[in-house]
Structure 1
Amino acid sequence: MQIWGNGAIARKNGIGFRNLLMFATLLLAPSPGGVVAADLPVDLELVLAVDVSGSIDTEHAHLQRSGYARALTDRRVIDAIQSGSFGRIALTYVEWADDSLQRTVVGWRVIDGPSSAKDFAKELGGAPTVTEARTSISALIDYCVPLFNENGFDGARHVIDVSGDGENNVGRSITLARDDAVKAGVTINGLPIVREGLLPWAEDRDHRRNLDAYYRDSVIGGPGAFVVVVKDYNNFADAIISKLLKEIAELPSP
């Protein structure tokens, strides 16, 4: 809401009236710039939520971060951002593991061109990594939903982008957390990582076959929600670019 100061004309009869006028003036006084601060409109408020549980070793954690950094600075992603109604999005980066570890690595930033994207990527690359053994997607969702409140932005869409290589194995029901987020106006998209060698062979085969279905059935939700499957960390950045282009452009699900 914007309130413009335009002065007041009144008779000054009586101290009571003067006090009332002074009180009203304080309430309506504009900020130094002449406008009461309002949330910045953006085309999208996006939480990048990245798995750092025990199954993600140091090498793969680094590959994830570098993949996001490369994707965010890709010319195609920048062009998509700048082609929006406002030409900017709001972005934050969260790492998560069990129900006790959800950590905002890079707080909310405006991304509106190459410079701001590079600054975000640089800040991300310089942050330390913390990990825990288990996986709680439900706790992650519960952590992320309030991040959209009073963050200084007014986005047409609120999206949580969850990447991970396992199912929810601690914390409350994933579907309840997902449904509560959708009721709050948040869309959840998924980036399941189904790389080989994560588990003993037979279990690994079933895990890779079922994880993308698990994300579709239990994790994603909201208007236009979708899944992009990552099968190889060498192609991680390409998968993120594809996902970001779809999220930013709000392309319809297949």
Structure 2
Amino acid sequence: MLQPSAAREQVDVALVLAVDVSRSMSTRELEIQRDGYAAALEHPDVIRAIGQGAYGRIAVTMFEWAGSGSVRQIFDWTLLETAADAQALSDQVRRTQPRGQRRTSISGAIEHALTRLEASPWDGFRKVIDISGDGPNNQGTPVLDARAEALEKRVVINGLPLMTSDGPGGGFNIEDLDAYYANCVIAGPGSFLVPVTKWEQFPEAIRRKLILEIGMIGPEQPVIRLAQGFQFGSPQASGDPYDCLVGEKIWERRRWIFDEP
């Protein structure tokens, strides 16, 4: 893995991987997620996609997130050009132990990702936040405000809604999480989401998602599902407005579970 020179070199994509570790996911699910990212980073199709870019290299960083302020960096900005680079990074991810944390602040994850993009030692032709999550925002800034900040800075947000029900905190989740991500989270030209309904799908889903984010190329197209009336790549939805504060409202109704007696 190469280190940056003093000048900000160009890369095809500056990519932030923001990985949900909220306690609504079980230990097993957290491990599947970790191993899925590790496998995707070293996959030959991902390496091929990197090599076919205009510059033939990308810069990537990864952190775990949950509630506001619950951020744990997995690896700092790293340049990926070769299979050896990717293998070293994949091994680093596998050595980590995911740590579940309380609450879900998608907005906090977006805001932290934006600070990481500003700190990148490489200049990405495209700047992308790849955010996974198994529930709606229920803490911190409203998610629409964080998304608007990303749009203002010309940053694309893509989503990986985890529509599974194996974890212990399902009471704070919603059935139409894909629609929530389509209407409230993803943003920017060409933005997309890849829903995961079974954990067996995760390794392939994250691999296909990375290929599309790196170069919009590859033999396969991701399973993209958008809310009714939502225009692909647009931050706005038409028709009946979607309630992007649904997570906050669910938390207010159920917060008594965590209140002291």
Structure 1 residues 197 and 152, CA gap change in structure 2 (3 angstroms): closer
Cα distance between partner residues in 1 of 2:97 and 2:165: 27
* Residue 76 (structure 1) aligns with: 45
Structure 1 residues 135 and 200, CA gap change in structure 2 (3 angstroms): closer
Structure 2 length normalisation: TM-score?
A: 0.78
Q: 2:174 aligns with which of 182, 207, 231?
A: 207
Q: 1:178 aligns with which of 120, 128, 147?
A: 147
Q: CA deviation at 1:239?
A: 0.3
Cα distance between partner residues in 2 of 1:200 and 1:77: 33
CA radius of gyration, larger in: 1
What are the superposed Cα offsets for residues 28-48 of structure 1, whole Å, 9 maximum, x if unpaired? xxxxxxxx9311211000011
For the Cα contact (< 8 Å) 1:92–1:106, is it kept in 2? yes
Q: 2:130 aligns with which of 153, 156, 161?
A: 161
* Residue 249 (structure 1) aligns with: 215
Identity rate, percent: 39
Structure 1 residues 53 and 196, CA gap change in structure 2 (3 angstroms): closer
* Residue 192 (structure 2) aligns with: 226
Q: Does 1:145 align with 2:111?
A: no
Structure 1 residues 194 and 39, CA gap change in structure 2 (3 angstroms): same
* Residue 67 (structure 1) aligns with: 36
How many correspondences in the alignment?
A: 216
For the Cα contact (< 8 Å) 1:71–1:77, is it kept in 2? yes
Q: SS state of the match for residue 157, structure 1?
A: strand
Cα distance between partner residues in 2 of 1:135 and 1:186: 21
What are the superposed Cα offsets for residues 154-208 of structure 1, whole Å, 9 maximum, x if unpaired? 110110001010000111100010111110121100000111345799x79x923
Partner AA of 2:101 in structure 1: E
Mapping of 1:1-254 within 5 angstroms? Answer: 37-198=6-167, 207-208=174-175, 210-250=176-216
Q: CA deviation at 1:150?
A: 3.5
For the Cα contact (< 8 Å) 2:15–2:60, is it kept in 1? yes
Cα distance between partner residues in 1 of 2:213 and 2:64: 20
Q: Give RMSD over aligned pairs.
A: 2.1
Runs of 4+ in 1 over 6 A off after TM superposition: none
Q: SS state of the match for residue 174, structure 2?
A: helix
For the Cα contact (< 8 Å) 2:24–2:169, is it kept in 1? no
Partner AA of 1:46 in structure 2: L
Unaligned runs of 5+ in 2: 222-231, 234-261
* Residue 239 (structure 2) aligns with: none
Cα distance between partner residues in 1 of 2:57 and 2:155: 19
Cα distance between partner residues in 2 of 1:77 and 1:150: 24
Structure 1 length normalisation: TM-score?
A: 0.80
What are the superposed Cα offsets for residues 11-43 of structure 1, whole Å, 9 maximum, x if unpaired? xxxxxxxxxxxxxxxxxxxxxxxxx93112110
Q: CA deviation at 1:59?
A: 1.1
For the Cα contact (< 8 Å) 1:224–1:250, is it kept in 2? no
Cα distance between partner residues in 2 of 1:117 and 1:54: 29
Deviates more, 1:216-225 or 1:122-131: 122-131
Cα distance between partner residues in 2 of 1:68 and 1:199: 22
Q: SS state of the match for residue 103, structure 2?
A: coil
